[in-house]
Amino acid sequence: MSHDNRKIRLIMDLRNQGVTDTRVLAAIERTPREEFVEEAFLDQAYANQALPISCGQTISQPLIVGLMTQALDVGDRHKVLEVGTGSGYQAAVLAKLCRRVYTMERHRDLLAQAEKRFARLAIRNVTSMSGDGYKGWPAQAPFDRILVTAAATLVPPDLVAQLSDKGGVMVLPVGEAGGLNQEIIRIRKEGTQFQSERLFPVRFVPLVQGVPESG
């Protein structure tokens, strides 16, 4: 089966499993996932499952990408912070939905690979840096939306502080390392008021503080 046919089947699967936002589905359909997976897994590029990438990380299951992106409620004028670039796939999807994506990755090797993919695919509204995701990107704050793609044991206060107080939304997995009791949380911020809601269970790699000395 060709990538195109597999992609059509995947989009139908996502719709059936709760990704109903047509903008999100269109962004996923227009993002070539085969460009973001390791060569050994090319035949599984459009399987609805997470796949391993380098540095012990994963490219998320398309369903989780779809549900988290939908929960983020991204508008075309929004400025979005993504914590955990990984392969760059989630940033590429977000880039089709908003004005600009700022994406952070603690592993420099992963970030360099993602930056090459953005360049190859002519994705020009993504700005990336290597850094500690717990600390966010204060120089570019505030952000209309923040998406975290690794599980924190607690919501990082620096990220909350960098969220716009005019209806800012952050979506992130919270729970124990190893995937136990993790769930997606959505936080809405209005002025100094916060609303938090639990959305659905997940299993993510942990959000680690600091930056590795190499790689």
Q: Which domains, ranges and CATH numbers included, belong to the chain? A: 3-201 (3.40.50.150)
Q: Between 184 and 2, where is the model more confident? A: 184
Collapsed DSSP state (helix, strand, coil) of residue 182: coil
143 pLDDT above the threshold of 90: yes
Q: Which of 2, 60, 87, 128 is catalytic?
A: 60
- 185 touches 110 (CB < 8 A): no
Determine the 3-state secondary structure of 115 from DSSP: helix
Q: In whole angstroms, what is the distance from residue 83 CA to residue 104 CA? A: 5
pLDDT band at 1 (very low <50, low <70, confident <90, very high): low
Q: Catalytic residue at 60?
A: yes
Under the banding of pLDDT at 50, 70 and 90, the label for residue 180 is low
Specify the pTM.
0.94
| Least confident window among 97-106, 120-129, 206-215 | 206-215
Cβ neighbour number for residue 149 with a 10 Å cutoff: 28
Comparing C-alpha atoms, which of 111, 115, 48 is closest to residue 84?
111
- Can you tell me the distance from the alpha carbon of 98 to that of 130, in angstroms, rounded to the nearest whole number? 21
| Pairwise CA distance, residues 180 & 186, whole Å | 19
